[in-house]
Structure formats: structure tokens, C-alpha cells
Amino acid sequence: MAQLSSAQVDLLKEAHLAQLVTLMPDGSPQISPVWVDTDGSDILINTALGRVKSNNMERDARVAVGVYDAANGYDRVVNIRGHVTAITEEGANAHIDSLAKKYMGVDTYPLRNAAETRVIVRIAPDNITGR
Amino acid sequence: MAQLSSAQVDLLKEAHLAQLVTLMPDGSPQISPVWVDTDGSDILINTALGRVKSNNMERDARVAVGVYDAANGYDRVVNIRGHVTAITEEGANAHIDSLAKKYMGVDTYPLRNAAETRVIVRIAPDNITGR
């Protein structure tokens, strides 16, 4: 278990897109941009069941998350290797609304798809680098 | 082999930091921001021998590369799964200068370390997604 610094928590709380890395069935890496949140210790992602990244994380908990500030990507960057500790439906709809507030400035996530089941993915950092 | 669209080539030629994903010895993913270049077909990275990412790519050719435009990260994004086809010293010093020109606007890479051996990493895309 690795601990985020306060500067890294600040970076994660700002509205920068994160890159989430999951592992495909053959072990090769898959990358996609996601909204990101933290409680100060864990990384929280919100996605929907049935997507490639969701299926990958259900099969193999090992992930990576990278975030940088595009205005200062050399000094403000965090690279995390970690593992998924929980994928939960509870609170996931309220959580995507809070992320919509953070990233879009709106109170309600506007792209909600009633056919999808949203989930919160909790990621514990194992290794953290960054400047 | 997957082919980059002209919009994706444009995105890669702009000065956005890319996120490069490599696989650690235990198969877990590692992510770090890198400068990126393309010849229109392959992705070209410049790094130095002996680094974690370099050692990883020498051991396991499977990588991922993600790039987005922070000014419009929802519409201008490319997510690539691919494999390393070559890691070569030839031309690597001139190549890092060209990347310094692209990303820093200078003619000569200012952070050169004479103790390091720079290499060009050539990545062939196997799967490309993006909007």
C-alpha cells in the first residue's frame, strides 16, 4: 500500500482526465481516459458494467492510473500502480453526478444510460511515482 | 495491424503528452507520460536504456499508448494497444532533439545525460479506438 502525497491528492481532485489501464484477457494492457476521484487514500473511478475496462477489472484486479496537469505536465504528474479492491453499485449514481459536477459543472450526469448499471471502482495504490 | 486515421495522426503530431503503458515482470501495468511521435503508421517514443519502461519493453513487447487533447479530451482522444517492433540506438539523439523542438520549441534536447543511451522505440498499433 502506498500513500498519496497532499500534492498528489490536490492533482487528483482537480478536473484532469485520468488514464486508466486494465489488462485484457491475454494480459496485454488497455488504456482509456476516465474521470477520477480520490478519498485521499484510494482512487475512485466510475464506469458501467459490461464495458471492456469493467470486464477486465473483474477478471484481473491489477490496474494503473496516470494523471497529469496539461498546463504543467512535467512537474504535476502522478503515476499509480494499484489493484481494484471493490466494484460496487451502491452510491454509483450519486457518484457519477458528483463527477459530472467536477468535470462538467453540472448537477446531474447528462449522459446517463438507463440500460447500463453504473459502478464505483475502488483502487488501492501499491506504487506511486510523480514529481 | 491497425491504421491510424488522419485525425489521429494529427492529434499525435500535436504537442500533447502521451501516456505509455508497459508491463512489469509480474505482468502488472506501469504507466508514465512520454513525448510521442508518429510516422503516420507506427508510434515512436524516445527513451533511455535501463529505465523501468525500457526494461519492461525489452522483456514484453506488449504496450498501450493513450493521447488526448486536454482542451477537448472527449472528442480528441486516441487509445492504442500495440507491440514494440524495434528498440534502436541509431538516430535516437537526433530524434530526441526533434521531440524537444516539438514539445519545448528548442533545437537541442536540454536534459541530455551523457551517461544514458537514448533509443527510439517503434510501436505497431494492433487496436485503435478513439472519437
Q: How far apart are CA B77 and CA B60, in angstroms?
A: 25
pTM of this prediction? 0.96
SS in 3 state form for B35-73? Answer: CCEECCCCEEEEEECCCHHHHHHHHCCEEEEEEECCCCC
Report pLDDT for B13: 97
CATH number of this structure's domain B6-129: 2.30.110.10
Q: What is the pLDDT of residue A73?
A: 79
Chain A residues with CB under 8 Å of B22 CB are: 29
B80 three-class SS: strand
Res A86 pLDDT > 80: yes
Residue tagged 524495434 (cell numbers): B86
List the single best residue of A31, A60, A78 to mutate versus B (max B Cβ within 10 A): A31
Beta carbons within 8 Å of B127's beta carbon, 6+ residues apart:
B2, B80, B81, B82
> A31 to chain B, minimum CA–CA distance in Å?
6
Q: What value of ipTM does the predicted structure carry?
A: 0.94
**Nearest partner of B59 among B23, B21, B19, judged by Cα:** B23
Looking at residue A54, its pLDDT comes to 97
State pLDDT tens for residues B45-101.
999 999 999 999 999 999 999 999 999 878 899 999 999 999 999 999 999 999 999
The C-alpha torsion from B102 through B100 and B73 to B129, rounded to 10°, is: 90
A73: which DSSP letter?
T
The mean pLDDT of chain A is 96
What was the pLDDT predicted at B21? 98
